[in-house]
Amino acid sequence: MARTSRRNRQPAQNRSLTQPSGKPRSQSGGEPTARRRGLRAVVAFSGEVRGELAKVDFPDRHQTMVATAVVLGACLVVGVFLYGLDQAFARLATRLIHWQTS
Q: pLDDT by residue (tens digit) across 13-61? A: 555 555 555 655 556 665 656 666 788 888 989 999 999 999 999 999 9
Is 27 a domain residue?
Answer: no
Q: How confident is the model at residue 86 (pLDDT cuts 50, 70, 90)?
A: very high
Domain range for 40 is: 36-101
Is 46 a domain residue?
Answer: yes
Are 9 and 29 in contact, with CB atoms under 8 Å apart? Answer: yes
Is 20 a domain residue?
Answer: no
Rounded to two decimals, the pTM is 0.49
Structurally, the chain folds into a number of domains equal to: 1
| 30 contact partners, CB below 8 Å, separation of at least 6 | 5, 7, 8, 9
Is 54 a domain residue?
Answer: yes
| 12 contact partners, CB below 8 Å, separation of at least 6 | 2
Is 28 a domain residue?
Answer: no
Is 49 a domain residue?
Answer: yes
Q: How confident is the model at residue 90 (pLDDT cuts 50, 70, 90)?
A: very high
